[in-house]
Chain A
């Protein structure tokens, strides 16, 4: 696939403060690409640079092979779904969607056909005459989406488009957006601080901290093979363990972990072994060994706390030699939600479950 967007050593300064960069990345044509990170990490700044709402202080961005330096938003083949949706309150839904088409002078028939098509794509057919300021949050989000899609952009930019919606609607829109993106096949760049949103929707994710990109990878690689402690910590839970004798050999690492024993694992491709490492295990990779079951290896511990989450229970397990309690996520099928606090518990894990990360 050809690169649709090339971000080349881009930096953005505000006075003496460097808000972003330097960052470099390539986004492929037809890709669903997410910028994920905590607030203030520069993800929205980067999206605004791609959209042409701000100019980079250093570096360049090209879209579809064309250098975008000096081109404002109205000269770029991108369209944006704003976080606040920015629906024009003085226009109705149809006029909002037709806003960008007016300039193209398509003729009344063609314009109407495209507006209707865009509205049906986002399942808002029949809502055309409703005024912009009389819409619910979900409807505003769909109008913003239709208004951008109707322009047939090469790249659709989405600035936290789902953050204003309630959980149920948000999850439904995640599925719909992903489906829509596959159907029309244009490049989506999504900014989000919600790790599950990024994992569920993206082809690839760029995790950002402090104005820089920490890692770009597929959702599965980001989750299973985080290349830094920061990335692992931001995406899902991770038990960081007290460990000694951490050693690497080729693609393998080994470590002695008090209370667990000697563990080995595979280094993720691209792991930086030059700095001090930390060993971790995801909470769901630890499983309870129930009465009468046998397992190897086994960790013995004591349940210190328990939190019920409906489909799963989160247990905090104390084991000897580890300062911090281990977090264990167990499904409730076998009664993890009924384990008394203070009772002894045995845990087991898969051999490849440990992760080596630069600290």
Chain B
């Protein structure tokens, strides 16, 4: 019974409790209780702490626990935070779209033409992810840098005469690096949803007069919409909060909201303001994600 603290057990006598534990729902609660407790302590707990913090205020070295909305006022009206949040959303939406657009053909190829090598293809796709996250970001620095691989390559091909300085330390660099970092996470849900498409449906589309492209747009694409939405969300939601990539390749133009939050929790030592920024970001990302899902589902209904 030790793993059962999270259960909303109604007050009951020993005997009825025993009977309840043997019932289907009792067994169900018992089975999920360890991860349920884990999730409660490690996911819900910190979020509650953050939310509580966001309604308090920093009083030099101590925290004033009286309820206040001044952090939210600052988070939502201060132009710097508004700009950063706006840029973060822009970057995450662009990154997720770019990632999914690039990942879809890869997933499609593996699913439709991978044959018996599907497993090997998926394995190969995950290989870059065996190295650390930081290493992958730093290797993009090597590729995009002033004397980097891309610049020397382009110079060697005489496409440019002087190295481009516009490749690194800006928003584009952040987008390129993030899109690469999240590629595998987009490929996998897309692959799963493509695998579920009944190939006979594509034959039926062909039988009814569609060429390969029309068949793809009218059958494969709408049927893989759940995978597309999953991939978009998996990429978009974490990228809003990424602060390592903008810090390493973003320069001063690539700063995102998470960097500001990090500063509030670190150097600026204003946890309540940081918490209010975090909560505002969470809510706004949730709304943007929801809007994107509704938009895609609406598009799907238009396909006939």
Contacts and interface: CB of A to CB of B under 8 A. Distances in A.
Interface of A: 51-53, 72-74, 78-80, 82, 84, 86, 88-91, 95, 98-100, 102-104, 147-148, 151
B24 interface: no
Contacts of B300: 90
A151 B198 contact: no
A103 B206 contact: no
Nearest to A153: B207
A100 B208 contact: yes
Given A98-B304, A102-B304, A88 B204 contact: yes
A162 B300 CA distance: 32
Interface in B259-304: 300, 303-304
Contacts of B209: 74, 100, 103-104, 151
A74 B211 contact: yes
B283 to A, nearest CB: 32
Interface residues of B, number: 20
A72 B304 CA distance: 22
B204 to A, nearest CB: 4
A91 B208 CA distance: 15
Given A88-B219, A89-B223, A82 B208 contact: no
A86 B304 contact: no
A332 B210 CA distance: 56
20 contacts: A53-B206, A73-B206, A74-B207, A74-B208, A74-B210, A80-B203, A80-B204, A80-B207, A88-B219, A89-B201, A90-B223, A90-B303, A91-B304, A95-B304, A99-B205, A100-B209, A102-B304, A103-B209, A147-B204, A148-B207
Most A CB atoms within 10 A — which of B200, B208, B219, B300?
A: B208
Contacts of B211: 72, 74
Contacts of A104: 209
A73 B222 contact: no
B304 A73 contact: no
B139 to A, nearest CB: 41
Contacts of A151: 208-209
Contact of B203 (A86, A89, A147): A86
A101 to B, nearest CB: 9
Contact of A86 (B204, B210, B218, B222): B204
B295 to A, nearest CB: 17
B154 to A, nearest CB: 42
Contacts of A82: 200, 203-204
A147 B208 CA distance: 8
Contacts, number: 61
A103 B200 contact: no
Contacts of A95: 304
B223 A51 contact: no
B203 A73 contact: yes
Nearest to B301: A90
Nearest to A132: B201
Contacts of B304: 91, 95, 98-99, 102
B198 A51 contact: no
Contacts of A88: 201, 204, 219
Nearest to A90: B222
Contacts of A84: 198, 200
A90 B303 CA distance: 9
Contact of A72 (B198, B206, B219): B206
Interface in B203-243: 203-211, 214, 218-219, 222-223
Nearest to A72: B206
Given A82-B200, A84-B200, A86-B200, A99 B208 contact: yes
A151 B204 CA distance: 13
Interface in B177-221: 198, 200-201, 203-211, 214, 218-219
B219 A79 contact: no
Nearest to A82: B200
Contacts of A73: 203, 206-207
A86 B206 contact: no
A78 B203 CA distance: 13
Contacts of A148: 207
A151 B150 CA distance: 54
Contacts of A72: 206, 211
Contacts of A51: 207
B300 to A, nearest CB: 7
B208 A79 contact: yes
A145 B219 CA distance: 19
Given A88-B219, A95-B304, A103 B210 contact: yes
Contacts of A91: 304
Nearest to B218: A99
Contacts of B198: 84, 86
A270 B304 CA distance: 53
Contacts of B214: 103
Most A CB atoms within 10 A — which of B203, B211, B222, B303?
A: B203
Contacts of A103: 209-210, 214
Closest 6 CB pairs of A and B: A100-B208, A86-B204, A86-B200, A73-B206, A80-B207, A73-B207
Nearest to A83: B200
Nearest to B210: A74
